Structure 1
C-alpha cells in the first residue's frame, strides 16, 4: 500500500517552478517558434494575404515546390555510433571564403513588401551569423545600402539579364565597385512563371487597394503602418513600377538570353561567377566546361516551371560528375537544418535558404531572421551530433538514403528511337 498524506504548501512550491513572463511581444512570439513552420504560421497571421502568398506560393499547381519539400522529408539517415560529438564544427568554405554555417541567404525580390526592414534585416542578420547574403536584382534595397548593412561580411549579387542590357551591365559594375565577391547569373527566368496566387490576389507594385485588401488589412494594422511610414521602396534595378509582379518580370526579362550573355558577364565580373538555375546534368557539364566557379541546382523555388526537376534528387549525380571541377550548391524546399545536412552529405558544397528566411522576416523583422538562422543552426548541430559526425567534411553519401516516391518510367526500345 502507498502511504498518502495531505501535501504541504511548502512542498507544492518546491515542485512547481513558474515560468518568467516575457513582456516583449515580439520576443515572446519568436521564442514560441521552434521550427521554420512555426515562423511561417506567425508570418501568415501578421502579413496581408497578397504579400504572404507572394512569398509562400509557387507557379501554377505548386507541384515543383511540394515535390522539392517532399524529397527532403523522404530522407533516411544512417548514423554512426560511439564517436565523440560533444562539439561539432558547422563551418565550411565556399567560393573562396568562409561561412560559419553551411547555408547562406538566397536572393529574394520585393522583400520590403513582406516586412519593412527587408534586405537590411537579412544582410545584418547574415553578418551577425557569419554567413553570406545574396541581394536580388529585384530587391528593394540598393546594392550600396546592403553593403553598408553588411560592411565586413560576404555579399553576393544575383543578376537577371534584362532586355535593356545596359541596366544589367550597370548593376554588375555597381556590385563590383561595392565589393561584392560573387555574382549569381540566373538562367531559369526568360519569362515569368504563372504565379496564380499573385493573380488571384491582384498583387502588384505598388499594392492595389481594393475592398478585399482593406478587409484583409484590418486585423494587421502594424503592416500598413510600417509600409506607410517608412521610406518609399527602392529597387535595385527598376526605375519605374506599376502592374502585377508577373507583368513587371515580363517587362524586364529577356527570352533571348544566351550563352553569349554569360560570356559577356564573365568578362565584366572580377569575382566568382555562379550560374543559378541549372536543372540538368548536361547543362551542369556545359557550364563547367565554360569555366564558371559554381552552379546552383534550383528550380527557382518552384516559382517558374511547374513540374520542374527536383534539385535534391538531381544533386548526387551532378555532384559526382562535376563536383571535382566546380562548386555545386542547392536551393528550393529547405525548411529544416536536417535538409541542409542531407544536402551536404549528398555532395553539395553549400545551400541557400529563401522562404525560410522570409518567414522569419515577416514574423519579426531582423529578430525574426535571427530566429530563423538560430533554428536552422540548432537543427544542423543536433542532426550532426545524432549522426555522430564532428564536421561538415565528415558527411558523406553513406549517411543518407533518398527514398523515392517518384520514379522515372522506363522507356521501351521503340520509344527511345
Structure 2
C-alpha cells in the first residue's frame, strides 16, 4: 500500500464536497500539480554497498524526532473523521514525530495538550487585530507548545473553484446534491454528520462564546482576514513569542531574508499546497535557491506534494532540514481514522529508509546534492512551474 492507495480509499468514503476540499487547489490547480511533478522530475543516484544501518532520527530546535517529517498544520480535520486532530496528534506521538496544530483545528489547543504528551507546535493565522494573535500566542505558551508557525500566504483566500462549485466555505451548506451525496456515503454520514459531534473551530470559541453556531464561527474566520499584515507585525509577534518562530509561505529568497531579519528562526518553503496563488512555482523548485540564501543556524522546512519517502530524501538533498506533511496523513485519516494515519506515517518511514539504503546514505543530515542525478537540468525544466 502507498499514500495514493489511501487517497483512493478516502475518495471512496468521503462525499464529493468533502473530498474536493481535501484534495483540491486554487483555480486551474497548476501549482497543485507542479508540486508533484517537480518531485517526480528529480532523480536519485543509486550507490552500492553504502551501508544498511539507516537512522532516520533528526534534531530540530533541540528536539530529536524519529524521522525528518512532521505533521504540518491543517484545518477542519473533523470533517474527515470525528476528533480528527486528536487522532493525528496521537499517531504522530506514537511514531515519534512532531505535530503542528492549526488555528483552524476542530480540537482546542488545550485539549490536544491534555490528551497528547508529545512535542507540539502551534500554527497561527495572522487574523484580526493584534489582540487576536496575542490571545492565541499566550494560550499556546501556557499549553506547552514549543514552536510557533506563522502562516503568511493566506492573507486573502485563494480561489478554490472546486469548493466554490459546492458552495463550501469552511462549512457544509445543505443542498439537494450535498444531501444525496451524503446518503451515498453512509459510513461518513453516520460517523461525522450524524455522530453527534459536527466539527467546530474550537480555538475560536473564546472570541465568540460557546453559544456561537458553526456558521457563526465559519463566518468569523472569513471576516478576520488581514491583507494589511506587515513585517512590522511579524516583529511584534516575535516579541510576544519566546520560543522558536517559523514563517510559512516563503517561495522567494528575498522573503526568506526578510523573515530572518524580522526574527524568524526558521522558514517553511510552502505554496499552501497549491491552494492560494495558482501559477506559483513548485516548492522544491525554489528550495535550493532559498537554502543557499540562508545563513547557518536557520531551520529550513518544506511542504507541498510529499507523497513518498523518497520525496523527503529529495527535499533534504536540496537543503531542507525536514518536511511538513499535509494531505498524506489526511488521506489516511479520511480512509480509516487513527489506523489510517498510522499506516500513512509507517509507509513514509519505510519508503524513506529503503531509499536511503539504495542511495548509500545512513543519516538524513548526510544527504546532499551528490545524491541527486542531473539536478541542475531537472530544476531548470518547464515542469517545475
Normalised by the size of structure 2, how large is the TM-score?
0.93
Larger Cα-atom Rg: 1
Is contact 1:144–1:178 with CA below 8 Å preserved after alignment?
Answer: yes
- Map of 2:29 onto structure 1: 62
Distance 2:169 2:242 in 1: 36
Cross-structure match for 2:261: 289
CA distance in structure 2 between the partners assigned to 1:138 and 1:370 by the alignment: 23
The secondary structure found in structure 1 opposite 2:215 is coil
Indicate yes or no: 2:152 matched with 1:180. Answer: no
> Any conservation in 1 of the 2:267–2:301 contact (CA below 8 Å)?
yes
CA distance in 2, matches of 1:408, 1:114: 31
Give me the whole-angstrom Cα distance separating, in 1, the residues matched to 2:384 and 2:372.
21
Matches within 5 A, 1:308-323: 308-323=280-295
Q: Cα distance, 1:248 vs. partner?
A: 5.7
- TM-superposed CA distance for 1:261, in Å, is 1.1
Correspondence 1:129-144 to 2 at 5 A: 129-144=95-110
- Counterpart in the other structure of 2:227: 255
Cα deviation for residue 68 of structure 1 reads: 0.8
> Which whole-Å deviations, capped at 9, do the CAs of 1:133-176 have from their partners, x for residues lacking one?
1111111110011112322x111111011123322211110000
What displacement does 1:317 show?
1.4
Q: Does 1:391 align with 2:363?
A: yes
Q: Aligned partners of 1:249, 1:198: CA distance in 2, in Å? A: 16
Which of the numbers 325, 329, 338 marks the counterpart of 1:353?
325
Aligned to 1:380: 352
Distance 2:383 2:18 in 1: 35
Q: 1:407 to 1:224 in 2, by over 3 A?
A: closer
Give the 3-state SS of the residue equivalent to 1:185 in structure 2: strand
User: Is 1:405 equivalent to 2:381 in the alignment?
Assistant: yes
Determine if the alignment matches structure 1 residue 229 to structure 2 residue 195.
Answer: yes
What's the secondary structure of 2:382's corresponding residue? coil
Q: Is the 8 A contact 2:54 2:353 kept in 1?
A: yes
C-alpha contact 1:167 1:237 (8 A) present in aligned 2: no
Q: Which residue of 1 aligns with 2:9?
A: 42
Give, in whole Å, the separation in 2 of the partners of 1:267 and 1:186.
17
Name whichever of 309-318 and 189-198 sits farther off.
309-318
In 2, Cα distance between the equivalents of 1:195 and 1:165?
28
Query: Is 2:246–2:268's contact at 8 Å kept on the other side of the alignment?
Result: yes
Per-residue CA deviation, residues 260-297 of structure 1 (Å, 9 max, x unaligned), is 11111111111110001111011111222333110100
2:185 to 193, 216, 220: 220
Does structure 2 conserve the Cα–Cα contact (< 8 Å) formed by 1:204 and 1:242?
no
The equivalent residue for 1:242 is 215
Q: Which runs of 5+ in 2 are unaligned?
A: none
Q: 2:120 aligns with which of 130, 155, 173?
A: 155
5+ unaligned residues in a row in structure 1: which ranges? 1-33, 410-417
Is the 8 Å Cα contact of residues 34 and 384 (structure 2) preserved in structure 1?
no
Please give the secondary structure, in 2, of the residue aligned with 1:199.
helix
Question: Helix, strand or coil for the counterpart of 1:242?
Answer: helix
For each residue in 1:98-117, what CA deviation from the matched residue of structure 2 results, as whole angstroms up to 9, or x when unmatched? 11111000101111012113
Note closer, same or farther for the CA distance 1:104–1:389 as it changes in structure 2 (3 Å cut). same
CA RMSD of aligned residues (A): 1.9
What is the aligned residue count?
Answer: 373
1:168 matched to 2:133: yes
C-alpha distance in 1, partners of 2:384/2:291?
Answer: 20
Residue 51 of structure 1 corresponds to which residue in structure 2?
Answer: 18
Match of 1:100 among 54, 66, 91: 66
Specify the alignment match of 2:85 in structure 1. 119
Aligned partners of 1:117 and 1:365 also within 8 Å: no
User: In the alignment, what sits opposite 1:24?
Assistant: none
The structure showing larger relative contact order (alpha-carbon pairs under 8 Å, at least 6 residues apart) is 2
Q: Match of 1:134, SS?
A: strand
